[in-house]
Amino acid sequence: MTPSGVDRGGDGARFAELRAAAVALLAAMAAGSLLIILAGASPLEVWRTLVARTFGDAYGAGQVVFRATPLVLTGLAVAVPLRAGLFNIGAEGQMIAAAMCCAVVGAALPAATPALLALPVAMAAAAVAGGAVGAATGALRAYRGAHEVIVAILLNAIIAGVALWLGNQWLFVGEATRTASVVEGARFAELGITGSSASSSVVVALVAAAAVGWLQTRSTIGFRWRMIGGGPDAALAAGISVARDRVSAMAAAGALAGLAGAHFVLGHKHAFEEGLGRGVGFLGVAVALLAQGRAAAIVVSAVLFAALSQGGLGVAELVPKELVDVLQAVVVLVAAATLGRTTSVGGGAR
Partner 1 sequence: MMDAVAAVVAFVAALATVTFVEMVVRITVPYLLAALGGAITERAGLVDLALEAKLLFGAFTAAAIAHDTGSIALAIAGAAVAGAAVGAVQALWAIRLGADQIVTGVALNLAAYGLTRYLLQVMYGQGSNSPRIDGIGAKVWSSPLTWLALVLTAVAIVMIARTRLGLRVRAVGERPDATAAAGVSVAGTRLAAVLVGSAIAGVGGAQLSLVVNGFVAEMSSGRGYVALAAVIMGGWRPAWVALVCLGFGAAEAVQVRMQSAGTGLPPELVRLLPYLLALVLLATLRGRGRAPAALGRGA
Q: Is 27 or 202 the residue whose CB approaches partner 1 more closely?
A: 27
- Site for partner 1 (CB under 8 A): how many residues? 52
Of 101-140, binders to partner 1 (CB under 8 A) are 140
Pick from 60, 63, 71, 87: which binds partner 1 (CB under 8 A)?
Answer: 87
Q: Is 193 or 339 the residue whose CB approaches partner 1 more closely?
A: 339
Alpha-helical (H) ranges within 145-219 are 148-166, 201-218
Q: Is 60 or 312 the residue whose CB approaches partner 1 more closely?
A: 312
Region of residue 145 (left: phi > 0; alpha: psi -120 to 50; beta: else): left
Of residues 266, 224, 94, the one with CA closest to residue 163 = 94
Q: Is 215 or 331 the residue whose CB approaches partner 1 more closely?
A: 331
Residue 149 binds partner 1, judged by CB under 8 A = yes
Residue 95 makes CB contacts below 8 A (sequence gap 6+) with: 70, 74, 130, 257, 258, 260, 261, 264, 277, 280, 281
Q: Is 218 or 341 the residue whose CB approaches partner 1 more closely?
A: 341
**Coil, strand or helix at 315:** coil
Residue 13 binds partner 1, judged by CB under 8 A = no
Using CB under 8 A as the criterion, what x/- string covers residues 269-308 for binding partner 1? -------------x--xx--x-------------------
Residue 99 binds partner 1, judged by CB under 8 A = no
Torsion angle in degrees (nearest 10) through CA of 262, 263, 267, 273 = -70
Residue 34 binds partner 1, judged by CB under 8 A = no
For the CB of residue 336, give the shortest distance to partner 1 in the complex, in Å. 4
Q: Determine the Cα–Cα distance for residues 316 and 101; give it in Å rounded to an integer.
A: 34
Residue 322 binds partner 1, judged by CB under 8 A = yes
Region of residue 219 (left: phi > 0; alpha: psi -120 to 50; beta: else): beta
Neighbours of 76 (CB within 10 A): 34
Of residues 315, 325, 335, 212, the one with CA closest to residue 278 = 325
Q: Is 6 or 89 the residue whose CB approaches partner 1 more closely?
A: 89
Alpha-helical (H) ranges within 84-200 are 91-108, 115-144, 148-166
Residue 231 binds partner 1, judged by CB under 8 A = no
For the CB of residue 151, give the shortest distance to partner 1 in the complex, in Å. 6
For the CB of residue 140, give the shortest distance to partner 1 in the complex, in Å. 6
Binding site for partner 1 (CB under 8 A): 1, 35, 38-39, 87, 89, 140, 144-147, 149-151, 153-155, 157-158, 161-162, 164-165, 168-169, 282, 285-286, 289, 320, 322-326, 328-330, 332-333, 336-337, 339-341, 343-345, 347-350
